[in-house]
Amino acid sequence: MPFKSPLEAGRDARAKREEIVGPSVSDASEPSRGVEIDRNSQVYKLIFELQGEIEKEGGMNYQEYARRFWHKVAGNDASVDGDPFHIFERNLIGGLHDIPMRKFVYEHVLRAMPALVEQYKDSIAHLSLWSKGDVSATGYQDAKIESSRILHKFMREVAEQVPKETRRIFLKQKTSYDVADDKFENLVHHVEQALQTPDDQVKVVIIEDSYKNFEAAKQAIEHVLGKEITRRVNIEPIWAVYSREGINAQTKEGVPDDAFRKKHAHMHPIKSFEELADKARFGDLFKDAHVFLDFDGVVADNLRTRDAQANVTLTAAIDGLSQEWKLEREATRERIEKIASGVT
C-alpha cells in the first residue's frame, strides 16, 4: 500500500526497526565499529550475490536475507532460534537503518536541485520519487531515503520557490512518494490514473541508473493495461550513466565519453544531474511529463552505499558468528572469508 507521505513512510520505517531490533540481549549484540570489506573480496561478492538472488524472487526482504546468509555461512543445520542468529539479524537490520545516507548523496544532485525546481515546477505534470527495496519487511528503503535528506532539500526549494498559498496544492497534485517493494506497480497505477479519457496521451520520463528498467516499465504497463492502452504511453528514458551500472557499461565497451553518449543517445545519457538544467536538451522532454526519479544510483551513489551495506553485513556476521562458533572476532572473520572463498 503506498504511503500518503514521506513522513508516514519514515514513521513506519522507525517502527519496523524498533520491532525487529528491540533491546540488546547482551553486550555482544552491540555492533563493533570499523569493520571494513574490500569490493574485490569473496565475502563482498557473496553478500551481493545473495541479495541478487532474493531480489529476483520478487523483492528484497532483509529478514529473509539474514536467514539465508546465516545458513550459507554457518551451515544449513545452524539454528535461527538462538541468541547468535538474533544478534546477527538485529545488528544487520539496525546497522542498515543507521547508515548515514546523506554523505552518499551525489553533490551534483544537491547543486542542481534549486535550478531544476525553478525551471520545471510549472512545466512538468508530476514528479515522483520512485524507488524499490525492502519496505514491507524491515522498512530499510524508507529509512535509507529519509536518512539521505534529499526530500528535505526538495521541500526547502519548494518552500522558497512556490507561493505559500499554492504550496500545499502543488505538493499534493504534482508530487508523490512511490517507494515500494515493487515500484512498477506504483508506476502502472499513476499511468492508469493519468489516462482519464480514450483520447489521452501520457508522457512518462524515467530517470534511472538501470537501463533494463526502461523496458521493464513498458512491459509492466502493457501487462496490466494491455497493448492498446500502452500505445498511448510515451516512455522517455534518461539514463544516469554516472552510476555503477553506467560506469561498468562504459568500461566494458571501452569507448570514450563522446562515443558512449552517441551510441546510447536514445536513452538521453547524463554524466551529471546538472545536465538536466540544459533547457535545449531537456525542456521539451519534461514539458507535461510525469517524471519518475529513481533513488539508488541516481540520487545516491550506489557504489559507496553498497560498501557501507557490506561493512554492516560483515560486522553483524562477526557479531553473531563469533558467539555461534565461540571464536575471537578476528578468527571469526578469517573463517567467514574462507567459507566465502570455498575453503572448508
Residue 284: Cβ within 10 Å count: 11
- The C-alpha atoms of residue 177 and residue 180 are separated, in whole angstroms, by 9
Please answer whether residues 280 and 115 qualify as being in contact, where contact means their C-beta atoms are separated by less than 8 angstroms.
no
Nearest-5° angle of CA 223, CA 227, CA 233?
Answer: 95
pLDDT at residue 2, as a whole number: 63
pLDDT at residue 26, as a whole number: 41
Confirm whether pTM is higher than 0.85: yes
Q: Which residues of the chain have pLDDT under 70?
A: 1-2, 4, 23-34, 344
pLDDT at residue 122, as a whole number: 95
- The C-alpha atoms of residue 106 and residue 169 are separated, in whole angstroms, by 29
**Given phi > 0 = left and psi -120 to 50 = alpha, else beta, which region is 297?**
left
Among 11, 41, 33, 27, residue whose Cα is nearest residue 306: 41
Among 213, 211, 173, 208, residue whose Cα is nearest residue 193: 173
Instruction: Return the H-helix or E-strand segment holding 129.
Output: strand 126-132
CA-derived radius of gyration, the chain: 22
Question: Residue 98: what residue type?
Answer: D
